Structure formats: C-alpha cells, structure tokens
Amino acid sequence: MKRTDKTLLVALGGNALIKKGQEGTIEQQFENLVLPISQIARLSRKYRIIITHGNGPQVGNLLLQQECCDAVPKLPLEILVAQTQGQIGYMIETTLDNELIKLGINDQFFVTVISYVVVNDKDPAFKKPTKPIGPIYSEQEAASLPYLIHKTAKGFRRVVASPMPVTIVEKREIKKLIEMNFIVICCGGGGIPVIREERAFQGIDAVIDKDLASAKLAEEVGVDIFIIATDVQGVALNYGKKDQKFLRSITIEQAELYIKEGHFPAGSMKPKIEAAMQFIQRGGKRAVITSLENIEQAISGESGTEVVKSI
Ligand code: ADP
Ligand code: MG
C-alpha cells in the first residue's frame, strides 16, 4: 500500500539517458538512468507515479542510421518515435526493476504504454516548422534531401513542426493503471503525433514537446505533483551570464514577464516554464522544475524552482 494516494508525474529530460558531451553508448544510458530511477523507486512507497521522458538523441540516432542505409525503405518520423518509446521504456523498466529489488520491494508493478498524442492539423506550427531534428548536413547534401531544411547554428538540418498537444489518446488507460498502483511509463518523446480523421488516427511528421505533452497528461489524469527533471538545478534569470540567478519559486505573473524579457529560450527552458504554468493554471497543485539529482528534494520543497499561482 502507498502512504498517500497522491499522484506524481516525473518528466525526465534527455540527459537522464545521455549527458551533454557523452557519446551515448547503451552502457552510459543505463548507468545514467540509475540516478533518477533510484529516487523514483523510493518515491513509489509514497506516491502513485507516472514517468514521461524525452527522446531527442535516440530519435536523432535512428534518423542518422536510416540515412546511412539505402537497402531498406525509410521509416517516417512517427514510426521512429514509436521505436524510441519501446526502447527507452524497456531501459527505464529494467532499471526500475533493479532499483526496486535493491530496496527489497517486490510488490510494485510497472508498465510502458505506447502513447499517441492528438494534434490539430490546423495548428499554426504546421505552416512554419521550426524544430530541428536528426543529422547535421552540409549545404550540398541538404540540397538533395526531400525534407524542409533550415540553416541552424550547428549547420543544415531538417525541421519539422512542433504542434501543441491537444489530448493524450491513452489517458483513460493510464488513469486506470495508476489507480491500480502501476508505475506507468508513457508519452515518450512527447508522444506519437497523430491527427484525428473522423474516428481514426493518422500519424503525422511532427515532434511534440515532451514537457508540454507531460503537462497535458498531468492535467487529463489529475496529477497532484508535476516534476520536470533536467540538467540544471532550476530556472535562472540571465542564465549563463555573470549575473545569473536561480529562482526558488516563480509566480505565473513573473513567469509571463520573464518570458517576454527573453530569459527562457524556445526549445529548452521556455516549454518547461510554459508546461508548469499550464498545469498550475488548470488546477494542478504543485509544479517544480529541478535537476535529475534532486527529484526527492524538489518534492519536499528543498530544491528546484516551483511555479506558483501567486505569493
Ligand atoms: P531537457 O532534455 O531536460 O528537456 P533542455 O536542454 O531542453 O533539457 O533544457 C534544459 C536546458 O535549458 C539547460 O541545460 C540550460 O542550458 C537551458 N536553459 C536556458 N535558459 C535557462 C534558464 N533561464 N534557466 C535555466 N536553464 C536554462
Ligand atoms: Mg527539452
């Protein structure tokens, strides 16, 4: 039995698997997972738990692998996202299993759910794709590719739309599993983006931000605490500058102002702040952005940046 019936959603950032600067071998990925997952194993005594995760480097590697091989047909992005949900779900499950065994816990079940996330085909993001994915090309290589390519700071890259998540298709299944005390791993890589065509779903070439998909899931399932775990201790003003200042809490109003002032870049800190704000604005109780080391401390209020309604 849990000590409370509160539900915790932990969104794991890309460096839960591959740290910045690492090559990203499978051994490194398993090793890195121990830090967040050991905390989640302990927290499972107290909370019902949902784990979501990013997939940037993993889907990037799959794209690169298929660019290197012409012997088999190329797979669309939605299929690659599905592959990474299976791959990373498996890695989280085995790590969780080991960590639970270390704690002598043998009554905690868990499951990975392949997750679709509905997006709107009229989302303005489809008119102006901005999310770079996959390998970096030379200008010459890029010219012969059948994709939309943008010149980025790193070089020429394929860009896809990053539409807003509308709803998580498996929300009822996830809720049921949580009520049955399963730890649920889901919405990997922000979910497989689909559009609704009458009663059917159709996969679409896009990438959903995993923090925004996690906020949507947190809202739809009715999560109590939403933790966004990444590779910095929290949210900073003037990040990376001499006068950088990490915040312990931030109100919705302050967050809106700091977004306007440009403190949070799109594609890294901005979606995290927006995800936390959305969760709180739609009735969520607590949302904390913290480091992977400090998931437990963030829950007990000793670490990270908490997004609050007002002071
Ligand atoms: P994740 O894989 O966890 O989603 P991201 O790289 O997308 O990680 O976002 C986390 C990164 O955001 C940090 O490593 C940091 O470099 C960057 N960042 C940008 N602005 C800020 C800020 N104002 N405060 C804290 N971190 C910031
Ligand atoms: Mg990110």
128 is an active site residue: no
20 is an active site residue: no
Band of residue 1 on the pLDDT scale cut at 50, 70, 90: low
Mean local confidence (pLDDT), 28-42:
98
Q: How many A from CA of 76 to the centre of ligand 1?
A: 28
| pLDDT value for 197 | 87
Mean local confidence (pLDDT), 160-167:
97
Ligand 1: residue whose CA is nearest its atom 4: 13
Ligand 1 close to Cβ of residue 189 (< 6 A)? no
Ligand 1 close to Cβ of residue 232 (< 6 A)? yes
Band of residue 310 on the pLDDT scale cut at 50, 70, 90: confident
Atom of ligand 1 nearest to the CA of 12: 3
Band of residue 67 on the pLDDT scale cut at 50, 70, 90: confident
Ligand 1 close to Cβ of residue 291 (< 6 A)? no
Q: Where are the domains of the chain?
A: 7-119+168-223
| pLDDT value for 3 | 66
19 is an active site residue: no
120 is an active site residue: no
- Give the residue with greater pLDDT, 232 vs 143: 232
Mean local confidence (pLDDT), 276-290:
97
pTM: 0.96
The CATH code of the domain at 7-119+168-223 is 3.40.1160.10
Mean local confidence (pLDDT), 37-61:
96
Average pLDDT, the chain: 95
Q: Is the pLDDT of residue 5 over 90?
A: no
Ligand 1: residue whose CA is nearest its atom 3: 13
Lowest mean pLDDT of 143-152, 282-291, 296-305, name the range: 143-152
15 is an active site residue: yes
Atom of ligand 1 nearest to the CA of 211: 4
Ligand 1: residue whose CA is nearest its atom 7: 268
- pLDDT tens, residue by residue, 203-252: 999 999 999 999 999 999 999 999 999 999 999 999 999 999 999 999 99
Active-site residue (options: 171, 210, 216, 270): 210
Band of residue 134 on the pLDDT scale cut at 50, 70, 90: confident
| pLDDT value for 73 | 94
- pLDDT tens, residue by residue, 194-204: 999 888 999 99
Q: Is the pLDDT of residue 57 over 70?
A: yes
Mean local confidence (pLDDT), 74-85:
95
Band of residue 2 on the pLDDT scale cut at 50, 70, 90: low
Per-residue HEC secondary structure of the chain comes to CCCCCCEEEEEECHHHCCCCCCCCCHHHHHHHHHHHHHHHHHHCCCCEEEEEECCHHHHHHHHHHHHCCCCCCCCCHHHHHHHHHHHHHHHHHHHHHHHHHHCCCCCCCEEECCCEEECCCCCHHHCCCCEEEEEEECHHHHHCCCCCEEEECCEEEEEEECCCCCEECCHHHHHHHHHCCCEEECCHHHCEEEEEECCEEEECCECCCHHHHHHHHHHHHCCCEEEEEECCCCEEECCCCCCCEEECEEEHHHHHHHHHCCCCCCCCHHHHHHHHHHHHHCCCCEEEEEEHHHHHHHHCCCCCEEEECCC
Mean local confidence (pLDDT), 262-267:
93
Ligand 1 close to Cβ of residue 236 (< 6 A)? yes
- Choose one of 10, 59, 210, 268 to mutate for the ligand 1 pocket test, by most ligand atoms within 8 angstroms of C-beta: 268
Mean local confidence (pLDDT), 291-303:
98
Ligand 1: residue whose CA is nearest its atom 1: 13
- Choose one of 133, 162, 231, 295 to mutate for the ligand 1 pocket test, by most ligand atoms within 8 angstroms of C-beta: 231
| pLDDT value for 169 | 97
| pLDDT value for 135 | 87
| pLDDT value for 15 | 87
